[in-house]
Amino acid sequence: MLYLSGQIALDPQTGLMIQDSIEQETTQVMSNIKAILVAAGVDFEAIVKTSIFLSDMKLFGAVNQVYEHYFESNFPARETVQVAGLPKNANVEISVIAITNEP
């Protein structure tokens, strides 16, 4: 099992938050998740559960439009909640649980 703690839109090259739009912010979050998955030898198909934390539920539709492009089948179980605050004033944070091929 691979447990990824919540990822926010930190650019790993600059350490700065990507927040020009909620779509770009979500894309950066998903890119950060992808990098960790690849390092573990798996891809998005290995994810069995995601938790999405939003600063405002009004962002759900835009976040979902970006999120859905990363999954082709075997969609993971998902929960989405609005929270009072996220690190670095992020608007979206996503954590995942994935199954790896490692024993």
CA 62 to CA 103: how far, in whole Å? 37
- Amino acid 74: pLDDT: 83
- Amino acid 102: pLDDT: 61
Indicate whether 79 belongs to any domain.
yes
Residue 63's Cβ-side half-sphere holds a number of Cα atoms within 13 Å equal to 27
Indicate whether 78 belongs to any domain.
yes
Range of the domain at 51: 2-98
Give the number of domains in the chain.
1
Looking up residue 66, the CATH number of its domain turns out to be 3.30.1330.40
- Number of Cβ within a 10 Å radius of residue 40: 15
Indicate whether 103 belongs to any domain.
no
List of the chain residues with pLDDT < 70: 102-103
Residue 33 CB-density burial (10 A; 0-12 exposed, 13-18 middle, 19+ buried):
buried
Indicate whether 9 belongs to any domain.
yes
The CA-based angle 29-61-70, given to 5 degrees, is: 45
Indicate whether 69 belongs to any domain.
yes
CA 21 to CA 73: how far, in whole Å? 27
